[in-house]
Amino acid sequence: MAEPKVENSTSPVGESKIRIDAREKVTGAAIYADDIQFGNSLLHARIKRSPHPHALIKKINSEKALALPGVKAIVTGQDFPGYIGLYLKDRFFFCRDRVRYVGDPVAGVVAVSEEIAEKALGLIEVEYEILEPVLDPEYGARPEAPLLHPDLGKYAVASFIFPQPGTNISNHFKIRKGDVNGAWEKCTAIVEHKYRIPHIQHVPIEPHIAIAKVDEAGEITLWGSSQSPFAQRNLIAQSLGISPGKMRVIAPYVGGGFGCKAGVSMESLAVAIAMKVKGRPVKLLLTREEEFFTAFVRQGLTAYFKMGCDENGRLLAMENTFYWDGGAYTEYGVNITRAAGYSSSGPYEVPNVKTDSYCVYTNHPVGGAMRGFGMPEIHAGLEQCIDELALRIGMDAVEFRKLNCLKTGSTLVTGSRMHATGLSQCIEKTAEAIGWGKKAPPSAPNKRRGKGMALMWKAPAMPPNAGSSAWVELAEDGTLNVGVGGQEIGQGVFTVAAQMAAAALGVAYESVRIAAPIDTRYSPYEWQTVASRLTWSMGNAIVNAAKDARKQILDIVAEAWDETPDDLNIVNGVVISYKSEKEIPLKNLVIYGLPKPGDQGWRGGPIIGRGSFMPTYVTGLDAETGQGERAVVHYTTGAQAVELEVDLDTGRIEIIKGVSTFDIGKAINPELVEAQMEGGFVQGMSSALFESLQLKDGVLRNPSFVDYRIATSSDIPKDLQSYIVEVPQDDGPWGARGIGEHSMVPTIPAIANAIYDAVGVRLEGPPFTAEKVYLAMLDAGIVK
């Protein structure tokens, strides 16, 4: 694979040409089930789940299960009446009155072994009254649909979420910019399309797992594979009606997350069960089958797009309607709906926009955060419409995008102004690298070759006041320990954290260690490891903490040498003076300080720096128009292009080449940026070509890797190129923005546009399987 191309850049924190495993930068052993010596005290839990997509619970009889030797306790919804949820508190730990999807937790069993707990599940008798399910979000949004959450109007909800009580709409986000109706008559060309995006699963290598223990004093400790230890502490404590100070969450390395381990899912069940067996740790592990439909899934989407331009190709109007299949509970999905709304124009300046983005309750698995947070779904259709609109007026698709894309100072769909961006450069570099306008011959007579491009933008979808904090502490030998609350999930954030701390303080990267695992009792606060925000937000906190320690050190030395701090610097762990040319290693002063002359005491002492960061400038948006001064902290923008071949005999698609270019502000670690670009491309390709949760009557038909196909190494194109554009973010550390999710966003439409270029067919939505492509070619008369 090609090396990443970095325009006018060296890493601000050192030339990092060798990717360093983040595990090498961590102190402390990773705490996990097999590493903790619970011995015979460890109990095992299993969950009794609903077999129905929608039903009332009439009766639960657990007497036979309780009588089974080895069973210690059984928990039901009657034991825990509190609601839980991130942006919308709409669910119980265990169902109380009704079940809303196949897999909804009805009861929990804890026993001395997993086998006994599993056997006890079969002895629990549940009587249901079957209700009509809602299995389509468009239908669910209609007044005649069965009401899934009659108490929606009573749920606690974030101020920027707008539920519609008395309906299945848990959030309705609106954009009303300009005069859309008046703009259509001015358009030379108009395109309208409907697209469907299926549910997919994150399929992390490590499934969800949690161990909970409640001591006799009611203090709770939760060990879990989590992207959100602090959010879990807060949300679970709120639901239980206890102080967060009595709830401790320890989160070791996460074996893959992609959003499914954000917020709270099965972890609350482990805590609830552990409260019934105080003093005994309880382990709950999802099976691979359960992982597919009882953990968060990516929401499905039905999207309607209408857009028009003038004779010169200038976009004049867009009208988009999104029906999000939020599933049975939408505590996270409501914010995905909001993010889709304020990003609904795509990375284009459009004077007239109308958007209605609906989050709809259905009786499908629970929708939650997934890499891209709604952006891959809306870009999938939007970027295909952009291609078609360019074709309608006879304009090159790249030139059309260059004309209409956001530039510095552009007016956004929410009415605010675009910050400095290098999106135009991304388009140019991507087009050049893919060989845009040059048609290569296919590899065989029965194949057709095509190229496609798509743009993207994405903001960190988060509350306006999501904060980060950090501390740095120097040891006797001058090495640096850094405390953070952000989680390492394989993206390399601990490596980047160490680089930034080293650069900001003035010490060697090799002397920095990250304090892990994340522990809410000792680690500094971090909102969540989501939204591609850690390099920017946590990075600012780390820099501030390092600067705080640096100031303490320079003040001590300046006083000792009778100089000013401005005369001094810290270079490779040594304080040097540009005035007197004196120097002293940090190891000689950061713990014990420096002696005063004449044996008259000491100055200084142990150095600990602290830092925090929270954006203060994000404003609210009008509930009726979606307009406001500043909706988000920033946008990362970029472009992708693919070259592929379609086999006319089978419909099989082979990706020949992939090109990604993103403006990330500043590449703190170019190697890790490349890894994110490549990984996101492959995951996006997987969702474009293979992935779909096959739901029928509310039941998942393919909950295993036998029937759920994901991309493997054999599917990756041999030619993957990554390019970095750097237009600094004004408030990012060294100008950095995130890149973790963005490289997955434009892949589906880039592939779809390439398929059209190759064989002239478009599909209603992914996955673009060989069968679907072949049948589309057959319908179009391309093959016979």
* pLDDT value of position 32: 45
Q: Collapsing DSSP states into helix, strand and coil, what is residue 620?
A: coil
Name the residue among 41, 74, 86 with its Cα closest to residue 272: 74
Rounded to whole angstroms, the Cα distance separating 700 from 327 reads 13
Structure tokens at 31: 């705490």
8 A C-beta contact, residue 622 and residue 407? no
Convert the pLDDT of each residue in 211-246 to its tens digit. 999 999 999 999 999 999 999 999 999 999 999 999
Main-chain dihedrals φ then ψ at residue 581, nearest 5 degrees: 65, 20
| Angstrom distance (rounded) from CA 433 to CA 777 | 29
Q: Is the pLDDT of residue 385 over 90?
A: yes
Q: How far apart are CA 205 and CA 371, in angstroms?
A: 15
- Interatomic CA distance for residues 267 and 271, integer angstroms: 7
Residue 483 has a CB neighbour count (10 Å cut-off) of 22
pLDDT class of 4 with cuts at 50, 70, 90: very low
d(CA 47, CA 282): 13
User: In the numeric block, which tokens belong to residue 136?
Assistant: 């389509």
Give the burial class of 304: count Cβ atoms within 10 A of its Cβ; 0-12 exposed, 13-18 middle, 19 or more buried: middle
Q: Look at residues 709, 698, 689, 687 and name the one whose alpha carbon lies nearest to residue 755.
A: 689
Question: Among 26-40, 350-364, 395-409, 445-459, whose mean pLDDT is lowest?
Answer: 26-40
For the stretch 110-139, pLDDT in tens is: 999 999 999 999 999 999 999 999 999 999
In the predicted model, what is the mean pLDDT of the chain?
Answer: 95
Per the structure block, which two tokens stand in for 692?
């779909």
Task: Please tell me the predicted confidence (pLDDT) of residue 8.
Answer: 40
Are 149 and 327 in contact by the 8 Å Cβ rule? The answer is: no
Tokens 């554009």, residue located: 725
CATH number (1.10.1040.10, 2.120.10.30, 3.30.410.10, 3.30.365.10) of 6-30+466-613 reads 3.30.365.10
Q: For residue range 145-193, what is the model confidence (pLDDT) as tens digits?
A: 999 999 999 999 999 999 999 999 999 999 999 999 999 999 999 999 9
Going by C-alpha positions, the residue among 602, 581, 601 that lies closest to residue 593 is 602
Instruction: Inform me whether the pLDDT recorded for 3 exceeds 70.
Output: no
The vertex-279 CA angle with 277 and 281, nearest 5°, equals 75
pLDDT single digits (tens) 320-341: 999 999 999 999 999 999 999 9
Instruction: Tell me if the bond preceding 517 is cis, omega within 30° of 0.
Output: yes
Residue 711 has pLDDT above 90, yes or no: yes
- pLDDT, one tens digit per residue, over 566-583 is 999 999 999 999 999 999
Residue 22 vs residue 245, higher pLDDT? 245
- Determine the Cα–Cα distance for residues 50 and 201; give it in Å rounded to an integer: 20
Q: Which of 289, 488, 741, 771 is catalytic?
A: 741
The pTM for the full model equals: 0.95
pLDDT(34) > 90: no
The pair phi, psi for residue 635, each rounded to 5°, is: -125, 135
Q: State the greatest distance between any 2 C-alpha atoms of the chain, in Å, as a whole number.
A: 99
In the prediction, which pLDDT does 38 show? 82
Topology (CATH level 3) of domain 33-131+207-254+261-294? Aldehyde Oxidoreductase; domain 3 (3.90.1170)
Strand runs labelled E in 264-417:
282-285, 300-309, 315-327, 352-361
CA torsion, ordered 87, 90, 92, 93, to nearest 10 deg: -30
Instruction: Please list, in sequence order, all residues whose beta carbon lies within 8 angstroms of the beta carbon of residue 245, skipping any fewer than 6 positions away.
Output: none
HEC letters along 193-237 = EEEEECCECCCCCCCCEEEEEECCCCCEEEEECCCCHHHHHHHHH
The residue extents of the domains of the chain are: 6-30+466-613, 33-131+207-254+261-294, 300-462+620-779
Query: At residue 26, does pLDDT exceed 80?
Result: no
- Categorize the per-residue pLDDT at 37 as very low, low, confident or very high, splitting at 50, 70 and 90: low
Q: Which CATH number fits domain 300-462+620-779: 3.40.50.300, 3.90.1150.10, 3.20.20.80, 3.30.365.10?
A: 3.30.365.10
Whether the CB-CB separation of 758 and 644 falls below 8 Å is answered with yes
Cα distances (angstroms) measured from residue 186 to each of 124, 177, 189, 305, 351: 65, 16, 9, 18, 12
Choice among 21-25, 77-81, 130-134, 721-725 with the minimum mean pLDDT: 21-25
- Percent above pLDDT 70 for the chain: 95
Please give the Cα distance from 328 to 141 (Å, whole number). Answer: 14
Q: What is the DSSP string of 668-727?
A: SSHHHHHHHHHHHHHHHHHHHHT----EETTEES--STTTS----GGGS-SEEEEEEE--
pLDDT at 18 over 90: no
pLDDT of residue 326: 98
pLDDT class for 713, splitting at 50, 70, 90?
A: very high
Q: How far is CA 762 from CA 648, 689, 759, in A?
A: 15, 14, 9
Q: Which phi and psi angles does 449 have, rounded to 5°?
A: -110, 145
Question: What pLDDT was estimated at residue 39?
Answer: 86
- Return the higher-pLDDT residue of 12 and 725: 725
Indicate if 33-131+207-254+261-294 has the same CATH topology as 6-30+466-613: no
Distance between CA atoms of 45 and 269, rounded to whole angstroms?
Answer: 9
* pLDDT band per the 50, 70, 90 thresholds, residue 270: very high
**Residue 653 Cα distances to 186, 188, 253, angstroms:** 39, 34, 36
Convert the pLDDT of each residue in 417-450 to its tens digit: 999 999 999 999 999 999 999 999 999 999 999 9
What distance in Å separates the CA atoms of residue 151 and residue 172, rounded to the nearest whole number? 17
Can 428 be counted among the known catalytic residues? no
Mean pLDDT value across residues 534-546: 98
